[in-house]
């Protein structure tokens, strides 16, 4: 199985400041079709997960432009340019390149 490792596990951020989350996979996520199936999801308290970013850097419909994904191969990053109160929650990376699909353990975003 591909192991997804996220750092940090917790990220206290001041409102209006940037935030950055890292995700590393135990092997390359480049599929034989050339695409890299790495996505980022947000889970606010008490809610189901919500897709933010797919294929490393494509922003899903309705996701604010302050969310940006980047990376390649085995190293990926999600950045929030200016954190807002509604961004509080847990952020997960997920790979769907190879079965079984796997999630990272999540990074909790808290407001300082």
Partner 1 sequence: EVQLVQSGEEVRKPGESLKISCKGSAYSFTNNWIGWVRQMPGKGLEWMGIIFPVDSDTRYSPSFQGHVTISADKSINTAYLQWTGLRASDTAIYYCARGVNRNSQFDSWGLGTLVTVSS
Question: Per-residue contact track with partner 1, 34 to 73, x per CB under 8 A?
Answer: -x-x-x-x-x----xxxx--xx----x-------------
Within 13 Å of residue 54, how many CA atoms lie on the same side as its CB? 7
Residue with tokens 């808290």: 110
Backbone angles phi, psi at 109, to 5 degrees: -95, 120
Residue 105 in the binding site for partner 1 (CB under 8 A): yes
> In this structure, are strands 10-13 and 107-111 parallel, antiparallel, or unpaired?
parallel
Residue 16 or 100: the one with the smaller Cβ distance to partner 1 is: 100
94 binding partner 1? (CB under 8 A): yes
Tokens read off for 81? 């340019």
End-to-end CA distance of the chain: 36
| The binder of partner 1 chosen from 24, 31, 59, 66 (CB under 8 A) | 31
Q: Residue numbers of the site for partner 1 (CB under 8 A)?
A: 1, 31, 33, 35, 37, 39, 41, 43, 48-51, 54-55, 60, 90, 92, 94, 96-97, 99-106
């Amino acid at each position: 199985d591909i192991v997804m490792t996220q750092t940090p596990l917790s990220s206290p951020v001041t409102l209006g400041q940037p935030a950055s989350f890292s995700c590393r996979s135990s092997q390359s996520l480049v599929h034989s079709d050339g695409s890299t199936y790495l996505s980022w999801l947000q889970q606010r308290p008490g809610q189901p997960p919500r897709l933010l970013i797919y294929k490393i850097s494509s922003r899903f419909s309705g996701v604010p432009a302050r969310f940006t994904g980047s990376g390649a191969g085995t190293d990926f990053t999600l950045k929030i340019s200016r954190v807002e109160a509604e961004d509080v929650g847990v952020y997960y990376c997920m790979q769907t390149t190879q079965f079984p699909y796997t999630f990272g353990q999540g990074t909790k975003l808290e407001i300082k």
